[in-house]
Structure 1
Amino acid sequence: MDDPVDHDTHNMLAHVLLPVATENDARETARALAPYTPKRVTVLHVIEKGGGSPDKTPVEQSEEMAEAAAAAVRAEFPDAELETAYSRNVVDAIFEVASAIDASAIAYRSREGNRLVQFLSGDLSIKLVTQADRPVIALPRADD
Structure 2
Amino acid sequence: MSNSLFQTTVVPIGDPDDAADTAQIIGKFIPKGGKILVAHVVEKGGGAPDKASLEQREQFAEDAYNTFVETLPDGDYSIEFLPLYGRDVAETIIQGAEEVDATAIAFVPRGGSRWIKFLTGDVALNLVENSSIPVISLPHKDAQLETSQHS
Same fold (TM over 0.5): yes
Distance 1:16 1:56 in 2: 30
| Distance in 2 separating the partners of 1:97 and 1:118 | 23
Q: 1:100 is matched by which residue type in structure 2? A: E
What is aligned with 2:62? 67
State the TM-score, normalizing by the size of structure 1: 0.86
Query: Which runs of no fewer than 5 residues in structure 2 stay unpaired?
Result: 144-151
Give 1:98's aligned residue: 97
Deviation of 1:73 (Å): 1.9
Q: Would you say the 8 A contact 1:106–1:134 is kept in 2?
A: yes
Runs (4+) of structure 1 exceeding 3 A deviation are none
Partner of 1:3: none
Identity of matched residues, %:
36
The runs of 5 or more residues in structure 1 that have no matched partner are: 1-8
Structure 2 equivalent of residue 24 of structure 1: 17
Name the CA shift for 1:10/1:31 in 2 (closer, same or farther; >3 Å): farther
Structure 2-normalised TM-score? 0.83
CA distance in 2, matches of 1:94, 1:137: 13
- State the SS of the aligned residue for 1:11: coil
- Residue correspondences, number: 136
Partners in 1 of 2:91 and 2:114 — Cα distance? 22
Displacement of 1:115 in angstroms is 0.8
Cα offset, 1:44, TM superposition: 0.6
> What residue is the counterpart of 2:147 in the other structure?
none
